[in-house]
């Protein structure tokens, strides 16, 4: 009887895992990089595989792109906000292309378990705020390039994690709510 119960529970766990994987695959965010890209990132990080399942990782990638209960605006929303406010179609396309590339690099790392990653929510928040400021200054392309460089350096371990601060991108001014 106990063996039957254990087998039933094991089967239930396996079926649940399959259903979760199918849900992630069926509902992949339109406009996000391919699922295969992130599956490859996951497969290449053996350390993270010890801490996190592929399904858990993919859920966090989706949250990055779509947002979730704790942070409703995802990278796709931020990109759209940047692109729609740009009047020049060529510049808008370039911003969209660069946001896709930098977002892909950030998401691939940020979605990993905290103790295995090099990009943290604090970084994403800083970059998001800097992007808003870049819109006010008409410096979107310049800032995206700087962020991409910093992301590349974080991933290559040539930039310390604590080097990413708000004042790295824009000096605080008297109107900033959180500067003191």
Give the span between the Cα atoms of 76 and 99, in whole angstroms.
9
- Based on DSSP, count helices (H) and strands (E) in the chain, helices before strands: 8, 0
pLDDT digits (tens, 9 = 90+) for 68-125: 887 788 999 999 999 999 999 999 999 999 999 999 999 999 999 999 999 999 999 9
Q: Give the CA dihedral 67, 54, 40, 60, nearest 10 degrees.
A: 10
User: What is the pTM assigned to this prediction?
Assistant: 0.82
Domain extents for the chain?
31-168
In DSSP notation, 7-20 reads HHHHHHHHHHHHHH
Q: Which residue has the higher pLDDT, 19 or 29?
A: 29
Percent of the chain residues topping a pLDDT of 90 = 74
pLDDT digits (tens, 9 = 90+) for 43-60: 999 999 999 999 999 999
């Amino acid at each position: 009887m106990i063996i039957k119960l254990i087998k039933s529970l094991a089967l239930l766990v396996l079926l649940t895992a399959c259903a979760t994987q199918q849900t992630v695959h069926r509902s992949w965010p339109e406009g996000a990089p391919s699922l295969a890209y992130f599956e490859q990132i996951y497969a290449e990080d053996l350390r993270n595989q010890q801490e996190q399942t592929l399904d858990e990782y993919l859920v966090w990638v989706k949250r990055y792109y779509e947002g979730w209960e704790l942070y409703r605006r995802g990278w796709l929303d931020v990109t759209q906000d940047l692109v729609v406010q740009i009047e020049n179609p060529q510049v808008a396309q370039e911003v969209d292309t660069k946001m896709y590339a930098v977002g892909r690099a950030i998401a691939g790392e940020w979605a990993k378990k905290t103790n295995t990653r090099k990009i943290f929510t604090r970084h994403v928040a800083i970059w998001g705020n800097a992007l808003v400021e870049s819109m006010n200054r008409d410096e979107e392309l310049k800032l995206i390039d700087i962020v991409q460089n910093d992301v590349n350096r974080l991933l290559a371990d040539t930039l310390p994690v604590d080097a990413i601060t708000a004042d790295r991108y824009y000096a605080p001014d008297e109107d900033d709510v959180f500067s003191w």
